[in-house]
Amino acid sequence: MSGASGQQEYDVIVVGSGAGGGMSALILSIAGLKVLMLEAGRHYDPVTETPMFNLPKEAPLRGASTPDKPFGFYDATIDGGWQVPGEPYTQASREPQQRFDWWRARMLGGRTNHWGRISLRNGEYDFKPYSRDGQGFDWPISYADLAPYYDKTEMLIGVYGDTGHGLENTPDSPEGILQPAPKPRAYELLAKKSCDELNIPVIPAHLAILSQRQDHTRLPAKLFPNSELGQKVVAGSMQSRAACFWATPCGRGCSIKANFQSTTVLIPPALATGNLTVITDAMVREVTLNKAGKADGVIYIDKNSRQEVKVKGRAVVVAASAAETARIFLNSRSPLFPDGIANSSGLVGKYLMDTVGAGVGGQIPALENLPPMNEDGSSGMHLYQPWWLYKQQKAGKLNFARGYHIEMSGGRGMPGAGAFGGLQSFTEGAYGAGFKQACRRYYGTFVHFDGRGEMIPNENSYAELDPTVVDQWGIPVLKFHWQWSEHEINQAAHMQKTFADIITGMGGKVTSNIETDGRKAIMNGGSIIHEVGGTIMGADRKKSVLNQYCQAWDVPNLFVADGAPFASNADKNPTLTIMALAWRTSDYIVEQFKQRNI
């Protein structure tokens, strides 16, 4: 079709092409619905565009981070970062502690192209946090509601890990679902030994990376037992994916499709159904409403012609990223919804959450002068530490209500921009032959521990429309309000002490300041790029924007499929839950079409 068409009515318009939009488009198109996907960035194909083995020396500044490419030249992110030219956002406060840094990726597949692939399930407590400790909100669903979708999502996208640990609030996947976990690296084993002494569990991480090829003869029938089309397109997709060859960073994307990107795993099979149309460079401004109070389409700005285009759909799924989704809702004003579509609760944009982040580095003498070994591995973690102090927390022995998991990094990675930059404190400024010796000695001996912790939603962390600023597409922009509570700040301080203990237990030296004041350790809001909330789901339409099917309470054919429905933000990285939830929502939408409710 041509991008300017306004005649055709689609069954469903999906706004966004990342984890939530990609999953929605796949499930809806497999069910036979005619789907239009709108993406604000350009078309992107990891198979032809990924710089797989390219060396830093071939890149400007040896691949260093710049404002144009904040995660480095080879990072998959295109037209994205903390700032997007021509698309500003504003802060309500100048205080650093009250900032929200908003990472966007304007490209097909969105942030799935560069993400860390960490795929942890929320546990039972994570869906009912209010019931457990009186803070925040319960979700209107429980772990049991989402568990089958976690199973299916893991089988579809391919997640490595292992099972059978039985740890509290750290769900094991059923047997036969996960891909085999890769063997741990040397520094990971050393960290495990230290953690064993500290009674911190260390188990294989779950990452969305194929450690072996998917079984395309068995899995499609398990995933889509009643859909020949679904089995066919998913089998084709699985056959096109190779297993990881244990080289090149996932953050660049993956031309052999060994890791999960919406652009390699969700959108191609969705297109293969023949039921999906994708329009890129389409910046959605608002969802439109008909006289009956139902959504009847969206208006987007075609970035190439700078013209606005209206497209019609019988249902609309917004998956533009949590804050962008709230922005679209707030900008969708009508006589029925003067404060934004589906906003009778007044809660659109409210309860924005990120993940608590704080980290500590260390140098480990035991790792010095080891023989050369290849530690590239999957490029992500092979082991991690899930939260372990549930009982102490329940007993009131900690000064923060929720937990964190630990992500560790280190090893003999490829030297890039900044290599050996921090060495002078170890060598008292060596140069010459002494410097070369020191680089040989210290290479691969540095480790880093990052805490990723739960933030409790609060009244002071939200986004609203800035009444005075529009972007270059004429769309009013978001103004962010942010405030950490004592729970997050105290948690960040706890991370600092824990990581120092682990490093010391490894016989190492801590190389960063250990902050006892969590305010100094905690990273800015938004900077972990786990933005969720903004159109939260709930059981009470006065206290939430969406019901348990991520369906707007006020507009029955309007749905949200990204992180915006999250009623809490467990320490578990959100992407897997976004996909599982989007699949469940899509099943519900298909059912509503069948019952002619839409």
Partner 1 sequence: MADHNDNSSTNLKRRDALKLLATAAVAVPVLGMAGHAAAVTAKTKGAELIYRPTDPDMLKPVVPWSMTLTQAELDDLAVLADIIIPADAQSPSAASLGAQHFINEWVSAPYPQQKADLVLVRGGLLWLNGEAKKRFGKAFAQLSTAEQRQICDDICFEPKAAANLKHGARFFAKVRDLTATAFYTTEPGMADIGYIGNKPMASFDGPSDEVLRKLKLKS
Smallest distance, Å, CB 502 to partner 1?
16
With binding defined as CB under 8 A, does residue 190 bind partner 1?
yes
- Which listed residue (14, 19, 78, 578) binds partner 1 by CB under 8 A? 78
Smallest distance, Å, CB 32 to partner 1?
17
With binding defined as CB under 8 A, does residue 302 bind partner 1?
yes
With binding defined as CB under 8 A, does residue 6 bind partner 1?
no
Q: How many CB atoms lie within 10 A of CB 513?
A: 10
- Which listed residue (196, 217, 239, 247) binds partner 1 by CB under 8 A? 247
With binding defined as CB under 8 A, does residue 424 bind partner 1?
yes
With binding defined as CB under 8 A, does residue 412 bind partner 1?
yes
Task: Report DSSP state, residue 414.
Answer: P
* CA–CA dist 554, 544 (Å, integer): 11
User: Which stretch in 183-191, 326-334, 448-456, 517-525 sits in contact with partner 1 by CB under 8 A?
Assistant: 183-191
User: Which stretch in 70-78, 163-171, 224-232, 322-330 sits in contact with partner 1 by CB under 8 A?
Assistant: 70-78
With binding defined as CB under 8 A, does residue 366 bind partner 1?
yes
Count of residues engaged in binding partner 1, rule: CB under 8 A: 95
Smallest distance, Å, CB 192 to partner 1?
9
With binding defined as CB under 8 A, does residue 51 bind partner 1?
yes
With binding defined as CB under 8 A, does residue 124 bind partner 1?
no
**What is the amino acid identity at position 279?**
I
Listed in sequence order, the DSSP H helices in 388-469 are 390-394, 424-427, 433-442
With binding defined as CB under 8 A, does residue 22 bind partner 1?
no
Chain positions 459 to 498 lying near partner 1, rule: CB under 8 A, are none
Which residue lies nearer to partner 1 by CB, 136 or 377? 377
Which residue lies nearer to partner 1 by CB, 229 or 417? 417
- Which listed residue (239, 290, 305, 460) binds partner 1 by CB under 8 A? 305
Chain positions 433 to 462 lying near partner 1, rule: CB under 8 A, are 433, 435-436, 439-440, 443-444
- Which listed residue (375, 466, 515, 554) binds partner 1 by CB under 8 A? 375
With binding defined as CB under 8 A, does residue 196 bind partner 1?
no
User: Which stretch in 182-190, 463-471, 542-550, 564-572 sits in contact with partner 1 by CB under 8 A?
Assistant: 182-190
Which residue lies nearer to partner 1 by CB, 65 or 524? 65
* CA–CA dist 564, 530 (Å, integer): 11
With binding defined as CB under 8 A, does residue 372 bind partner 1?
yes
Smallest distance, Å, CB 307 to partner 1?
11
- Which listed residue (93, 131, 165, 370) binds partner 1 by CB under 8 A? 370
- Which listed residue (179, 378, 490, 498) binds partner 1 by CB under 8 A? 378
Which residue lies nearer to partner 1 by CB, 258 or 341? 258
* CA–CA dist 589, 598 (Å, integer): 8
Q: Which two tokens stand for residue 559?
A: 């749905």
Which residue lies nearer to partner 1 by CB, 6 or 85? 85
Q: Specify the long-range contacts of residues 390-398, CB closer than 8 Å, at least 24 apart.
A: 390/125, 390/168, 390/169, 391/168, 393/133, 394/132, 394/133, 398/490, 398/494
With binding defined as CB under 8 A, does residue 432 bind partner 1?
yes
With binding defined as CB under 8 A, does residue 248 bind partner 1?
yes
* CA–CA dist 161, 382 (Å, integer): 8
CA nearest neighbour of 214 among 236, 232, 241: 241
Sign of the C-alpha dihedral, residues 185, 187, 192, 193?
positive
- Which listed residue (90, 93, 290, 304) binds partner 1 by CB under 8 A? 304
Q: Residue 15 is inside which H or E element, if any? A: strand 9-15
Smallest distance, Å, CB 400 to partner 1?
33
With binding defined as CB under 8 A, does residue 162 bind partner 1?
no
Q: Specify which residues 316 forms β-bridges with.
A: 13, 558
384, 160 Cβ separation under 8 angstroms: no
Q: Specify the long-range contacts of residues 334-339, CB closer than 8 Å, at least 24 apart.
A: 334/288, 334/289, 336/289, 336/293, 337/289, 337/554
186, 407 Cβ separation under 8 angstroms: no
With 0-12 / 13-18 / 19 or more C-beta atoms within 10 angstroms meaning exposed / middle / buried, residue 245 is exposed
CA nearest neighbour of 526 among 20, 82, 84: 82
With binding defined as CB under 8 A, does residue 186 bind partner 1?
yes
* CA–CA dist 463, 91 (Å, integer): 9
* CA–CA dist 116, 159 (Å, integer): 12
Chain positions 269 to 288 lying near partner 1, rule: CB under 8 A, are 271, 276-281
- Which listed residue (57, 94, 291, 391) binds partner 1 by CB under 8 A? 57
Phi, psi dihedrals of residue 123, rounded to the nearest 5°: -95, 180
Listed in sequence order, the DSSP H helices in 314-463 are 322-331, 390-394, 424-427, 433-442
- Which listed residue (204, 362, 377, 410) binds partner 1 by CB under 8 A? 377
Smallest distance, Å, CB 267 to partner 1?
8
Smallest distance, Å, CB 349 to partner 1?
27
With binding defined as CB under 8 A, does residue 421 bind partner 1?
yes
| x/- track of binding to partner 1 for residues 81-120 (CB under 8 A) | x--xx----------------------x------------
User: Which stretch in 6-14, 87-95, 352-360, 427-435 sits in contact with partner 1 by CB under 8 A?
Assistant: 427-435
Chain positions 529 to 588 lying near partner 1, rule: CB under 8 A, are none
Please compute, for residue 436, the number of CA atoms within 13 A of its CA located in the half-sphere on the CB side: 2
With binding defined as CB under 8 A, does residue 11 bind partner 1?
no
Smallest distance, Å, CB 245 to partner 1?
4
With binding defined as CB under 8 A, does residue 197 bind partner 1?
no
* CA–CA dist 11, 277 (Å, integer): 11
* CA–CA dist 404, 487 (Å, integer): 12
* CA–CA dist 7, 26 (Å, integer): 23
- Which listed residue (14, 157, 322, 367) binds partner 1 by CB under 8 A? 367
Radius of gyration over every alpha carbon of the chain, rounded to an integer in angstroms: 23
With binding defined as CB under 8 A, does residue 184 bind partner 1?
yes
Torsion of CA 335, 341, 345, 348, to 10 degrees: -140
With binding defined as CB under 8 A, does residue 42 bind partner 1?
yes
